[in-house]
Chain A
Amino acid sequence: MKSFEGNILCLDRADINTDEIIPAKYLTEIEKIAMKPHLLEDLTLDGFDPATDLEDIAVIVTRENFGCGSSREHAPWALEVNGIHVVIAPSFARIFRQNMFNCGMLAIDLPEDDIQALFDLCNNGGGRLTVDVDTNTIRAKGKEKQLTLGFSISEFDKTLVKTGGWVEYADTNY
């Protein structure tokens, strides 16, 4: 199972799409690692600089409909090779969400209030969090606050995260 612990990057915008996560011109790459320098390259957002702000980040907290647009699994791969295995948002585009779990990573839906609480927690000097998949718990720590949040994922999604993906599961079962 992958690691689900580390520093949080807050992206305060809804509908961040897959072209912003990894532009189509990099889809000619066959190796995942080639996406590493290009994560979120085309995202224009006040106060965000992809060249410096992705260092040592393990978790993205963002707004609704993250990952809309293309089906490219290059989007979760670009996150994965940058050490980001968790995205937390009020909602996700269907294909992106499925791709995250198929890769053994987490796309966690939380209510808007919990998302706002995480944004607030990170507001002064950033934050860290840990996701415990066994107890469905998120423990977040900012400079001034701590927060424990529950979440739910389906048993199937949990199985994918724990077994490392859908290919092995399907080849064994079908």
Chain B
Amino acid sequence: MGKTIAEKIFDTHLVDAPFGDVSVLRLDRVFCHEITTPTAIQDLVAHGKDRVFDPDKIKAVIDHVTPAKDSKTAMQGKILRDWARRHNIKDFFDIGNNGVCHAIFPEKGFVRPGFTIIMGDSHTCTHGAFGAFAAGVGTTDLEVGILKGVCTFKKPETFRIEIVGTLRPGVYAKDIILEVIRQISVNGATNMVIEFAGPVVDAMNMDQRMTLSNMAVEAGATSGICLPDMTTVEYLWPFIKDEYDSPEAALADYTKFCSDPDAVYAKTKTIDVSDLEPLTTFGYKPDNVKPVSEMDNTPVDQVYIGSCTNGRLEDLRVAAQVLAGKQIAPTVRGIVSPATPDIFSAALEEGIIKTFMDAGFCVTNPTCGACLGMSNGVLADGEVAAATTNRNFNGRMGKGGMVHLMSPATAAATAIQGHIANSELFSSQEEI
């Protein structure tokens, strides 16, 4: 019987199986940020266990609230910073070098096919885009990960979702993942790994695959995995060129993790995206999804472009293409947060930042920012946001606020119109 990629990664990382149904896995990476890690650090210190299993396998960043907004967030940063220094964690990203965890860690080459990765952050599933088993965990699991380099998981079943067809212009990975969540619901993949497959995923670049994998958790999934291929190898090549003689050799090594043709799946689904329109959410759950065309009279107060879902260079390029030469509506506050300093720099060089500023956007430093209402860009009671983020929960961006999730193209068009709207990248095709 064949195996899925998740089963192969479990088999190669198994340390122990206490009580049968629980797998204790060896971890290749433990990622840390300043919101969920300080409590783990404090607890380790309090119990006389202020140790780390391997400083080279731990990567840390201050990203949620940066620069610090008050004394409490300053202290969270300080606890993480002091800890990284005292344990010689060299890959620690602070002011000037920091960015959104799920954008900066892949960008630095820390993620590889076949890796096991945990972080105290539910969107850790993003790194599954590289063919890794990457899962969000709570602070106690993180604490043990830091201390011992292990974590427990029940052996997950796999839900294989095959994406077929040809995307229409103006429809993106974000629209695909919203459609997936609409179809399977917020509980549709709970305790399962989603394996994204099919020609549409094969044709995606890594930025697009990360958008797809990022929102797997919104369907309840433990991880959202794309199978490693030459696209993965080419992205990683600058970091692995000393490890392999050629990209082909790396590919051969990585594809050994790929699911076997006779692997057994708990569920399978095929989604044809040929007729897919740009989508947005309308309620407080990520599976409340409708075509933008059915929501297009909804006025918005704020448009936010950024986050671990859609704050990467390609996302900014698409938004800038829509915004070029235009002004956002006077009733809209536009905010863009490039996800990392490298993305910010590239966007500067390409003139994208100027396009955003000329259109009337506020450009912030790389940060999680407005996504979760604990830093900048908080909504007032009764206000409405259009956002390229991943969660539309009640109060997510501020108490009493409503968030509509959408692609960067739709968000940019919405900013211009002042109400939810399809971008010309999609609409102009309609008219042809």
Contact in complex: A98, B49 (CB < 8 Å): no
Contact in complex: B75, A17 (CB < 8 Å): no
> In the assembled complex, how far is the CB of residue A42 from the closest CB belonging to chain B, in whole angstroms?
4
Contact in complex: B18, A156 (CB < 8 Å): yes
Contact in complex: A23, B16 (CB < 8 Å): no
Given contacts A30-B72, A71-B138, 13 further A-B contacts (CB under 8 A): A23-B395, A25-B374, A28-B374, A30-B75, A64-B187, A68-B186, A68-B187, A73-B138, A94-B220, A98-B152, A99-B141, A156-B18, A174-B16
Contact in complex: B374, A156 (CB < 8 Å): no
Contact in complex: A94, B399 (CB < 8 Å): no
Query: A42-B399, A93-B190 are known contacts. Are A71 and B374 too (CB-CB below 8 A)?
Result: no
Query: A68-B187, A71-B121 are known contacts. Are A30 and B42 too (CB-CB below 8 A)?
Result: yes
The answer to the question of A8 belonging to the interface, with a C-beta cut-off of 8 Å to chain B, is no
Q: Point out residues on B near A: beta carbons under 8 Å.
A: 15-16, 18-22, 24, 35-36, 38-39, 42-43, 47, 49, 64-65, 70, 72-73, 75-76, 79, 120-122, 124, 136-141, 143-144, 147-148, 150, 152, 186-187, 190-191, 220, 222, 285, 372-374, 391, 393-396, 399
The answer to the question of A19 belonging to the interface, with a C-beta cut-off of 8 Å to chain B, is yes
Q: CA separation between A135 and B29, bound complex, in Å?
A: 39
Q: CA separation between A102 and B120, bound complex, in Å?
A: 14
Contact in complex: B140, A159 (CB < 8 Å): no
Contact in complex: B187, A154 (CB < 8 Å): no
Contact in complex: A25, B373 (CB < 8 Å): yes
Q: Point out residues on A near B: beta carbons under 8 Å.
A: 14-15, 17, 19-20, 23-25, 27-30, 42-44, 64-65, 68-73, 76, 91, 93-95, 98-99, 102-103, 154-156, 159, 165-167, 170-171, 173-174
> In the assembled complex, how far is the CB of residue A80 from the closest CB belonging to chain B, in whole angstroms?
12
Contact in complex: A166, B140 (CB < 8 Å): yes
Contact in complex: A174, B72 (CB < 8 Å): no
> In the assembled complex, how far is the CB of residue B132 from the closest CB belonging to chain A, in whole angstroms?
17
Contact in complex: A19, B187 (CB < 8 Å): no
> In the assembled complex, how far is the CB of residue B359 from the closest CB belonging to chain A, in whole angstroms?
29
> In the assembled complex, how far is the CB of residue A99 from the closest CB belonging to chain B, in whole angstroms?
4
